[in-house]
Chain A
Amino acid sequence: MSSQATLFDARVAARKRAVLIFAGICLFATLVGIALLGVLLADVFFDGKDWLSPTLITEFPSRFPEKAGLKSALAGSVVIVILTALFSFPVGVGAAIYLEEYAPDNLVTNFIQINISNLAGVPSIVYGMLGLVVFVRMFNLFAADGPIPTLLNVTFEGRVWELPLPIVGWIIRLPFERSLLAGGLTMSLLILPIMIITSREAIRAVPYTIREAAFGLGATRWQVVRHQILPVAMPGILTGTILALSRTIGETAPLIIMGAFTYIAFLPDSIFARFTALPIQIFNWVSLPQKEFQDLAAAGIIILLVLLLSMNGLAIYLRNRLEVKW
Chain B
Amino acid sequence: MSEASIPADGVMPTETPITTPTLKTPQLSGQRNRSFSERLIAVILFLCGAFSVLVTAGIIVSLASETIAFFGNPEVKIIKFLTGTTWAPISRPVRPENFGILPLINGTVMIAVLSSLVALPLGLGSAIFLSEFAHDNIRRVLKPMLEILAGVPTVVYGYFAITFITPLLRNMSDWLNATAGVDVRINIFNALSASIVVGVMIIPMVSSVSEDAMRSVPRSLREGAFGLGATRYEVATRVVVPAALSGIIAAFILAISRAIGETMAVTIAAGATPRTTLNPLNSVQTMTAFIVQVSVGDAPAGSINGQSIFAVGTTLFLMTLVMNIASNQVIRRFREVYE
Contacts and interface: CB of A to CB of B under 8 A. Distances in A.
Given A26-B133, A259-B295, A282 B317 contact: no
The dominant DSSP class at the B interface is helix
B159 A102 contact: no
Contact of B49 (A112, A117, A247, A253): A112
A140 interface: yes
Contacts of B301: 137, 140
Contact of B42 (A16, A102, A247): A102
A286 B158 contact: yes
B58 A134 contact: yes
Contact of B317 (A33, A115, A126, A221): A126
Given A94-B49, A129-B309, A257 B260 contact: no
Contacts of A59: none
Interface in A24-65: 25-30, 32-34, 36-37, 39-40, 43-44, 47
B322 to A, nearest CB: 11
B52 A250 contact: no
B42 A130 contact: no
Contacts, number: 263
A201 interface: no
B45 A134 contact: no
Chain A CB count within 10 A is highest, among B151, B155, B263, for B155
Contact of B316 (A34, A91, A125, A196): A125
B236 interface: yes
The dominant DSSP class at the A interface is helix
A256 B59 CA distance: 17
Contacts of A121: 254, 257-258, 320-321, 323-324, 327
A124 interface: yes
Nearest to A41: B152
A139 B63 CA distance: 11
9 closest residue pairs by CB, A with B: A123-B261, A29-B125, A250-B153, A94-B48, A133-B62, A26-B129, A121-B324, A30-B126, A98-B45
Interface of B: 34, 37-38, 41-42, 44-53, 55-56, 58-59, 61-63, 65-66, 121-126, 128-130, 132-133, 142, 145-146, 148-149, 151-160, 162-164, 200, 203-204, 207, 231-234, 236-237, 254, 257-258, 260-264, 267-268, 288, 291-292, 295-296, 298, 301, 309-310, 313, 316-317, 320-321, 323-325, 327-328
22 contacts: A19-B232, A27-B129, A28-B125, A29-B123, A30-B125, A30-B126, A30-B142, A33-B149, A33-B203, A34-B142, A43-B163, A44-B160, A92-B48, A118-B321, A123-B320, A124-B263, A129-B291, A129-B313, A253-B288, A262-B296, A304-B153, A312-B151
Interface of A: 15-16, 18-19, 22-23, 25-30, 32-34, 36-37, 39-40, 43-44, 47, 90-95, 97-99, 102-103, 109, 111-112, 114-119, 121-130, 132-134, 137, 139-140, 189, 192-193, 196, 220-222, 246-247, 249-253, 256-257, 259, 262, 279, 282-283, 286-287, 294, 297-298, 301, 304-305, 308, 312
